[in-house]
């Protein structure tokens, strides 16, 4: 009888050790599965974010927004921008960047008299005016910024009137996780 008790005393801790290891393995397996699921979800979200960033870019012809050689928004320009306002108003975590571009023709005398020395200045003024208009329409001023690039990023040849018109543009781009 004593031998049975000694054997039982040895078997019980060994059984507990094995059961403990089984529970630990099942916990490990569960956590591994959760980690894999979280990684897959993160990859999916990153893919969606990249896709959204690619799709959340609007290009508006400068000739629609501004009078020829000008930087103040026209009535038609404001109307053209109004279509984007509802999508931009609720943004809190995304970044909205207004990029301005011009063709490569030098700025004229009237713009120079207004303090605009070159195409970088002109594109910056245009981008600033678009950003200010969007803010006035209720876009969160904490998420919007403007940047002018002048004629440094053409999308078409500046050798033709049509190409220059394509290069005179404003791009409104949504960036970041809230986009």
Identify which has the larger pLDDT, 145 or 4. 145
Domain coordinates in residue numbering, the chain: 52-175
Per-residue model confidence as pLDDT tens digits over 19-44: 565 657 777 788 778 778 767 665 65
**Domain at 52-175: CATH architecture:** 2-Layer Sandwich (3.30)
Secondary structure of 76-102 in the HEC alphabet?
HHHHHHHCCHHHHHCCCCCEEEEEEEC
- Coil, strand or helix: which one is 56? coil
| Confidence label for 49 from pLDDT (cuts 50, 70 and 90) | very low
Per-residue model confidence as pLDDT tens digits over 131-167: 999 999 999 999 999 999 999 999 999 999 999 999 9
High-pLDDT (> 70) share of the chain, %: 76
Quickly tell me which residue has 């990684």 as its tokens: 39
Quickly tell me which residue has 């508006």 as its tokens: 60
For residue 115, the 8-state DSSP code is T
Question: Would you state the pLDDT for residue 73?
Answer: 97
Question: Would you state the pLDDT for residue 65?
Answer: 96
Per-residue model confidence as pLDDT tens digits over 81-106: 999 999 999 888 889 999 999 999 99
- Residues contacting 59, CB < 8 A, separation 6+: 169, 170, 171
How far apart are alpha carbons 120 and 153 in whole angstroms? 11
Quickly tell me which residue has 């959760």 as its tokens: 34
Phi, psi of 103, deg, nearest 5: -85, -170
How far apart are alpha carbons 11 and 80 in whole angstroms? 82
How far apart are alpha carbons 129 and 121 in whole angstroms? 12
State pTM to two decimals.
0.69
Tokens read off for 89: 């108003």
Is there a contact between 97 and 141 (Cβ–Cβ < 8 Å)?
A: no
């Amino acid at each position: 009888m004593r031998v049975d008790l000694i054997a039982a005393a040895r078997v019980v801790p060994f059984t507990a050790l094995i059961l403990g290891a089984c529970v630990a393995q099942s916990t490990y397996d569960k956590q591994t599965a959760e980690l894999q699921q979280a990684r897959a979800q993160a990859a999916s979200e990153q893919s969606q974010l990249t896709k959204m960033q690619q799709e959340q870019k609007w290009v508006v012809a400068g000739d629609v927004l501004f009078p020829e050689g000008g930087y103040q928004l026209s009535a038609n320009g404001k109307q053209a921008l109004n279509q984007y306002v509802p999508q931009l108003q609720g943004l809190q975590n995304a970044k909205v960047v207004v990029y301005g571009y011009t063709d490569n023709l030098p700025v004229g005398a009237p713009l120079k008299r207004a303090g605009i020395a070159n195409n970088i200045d002109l594109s910056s003024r245009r981008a600033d005016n678009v950003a200010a208009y969007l803010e006035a329409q209720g876009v969160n001023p904490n998420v919007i910024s403007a940047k002018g690039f002048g004629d440094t990023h053409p999308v078409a040849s500046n050798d033709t009137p049509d190409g220059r018109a394509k290069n005179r543009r404003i791009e409104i781009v949504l960036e970041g996780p809230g986009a």
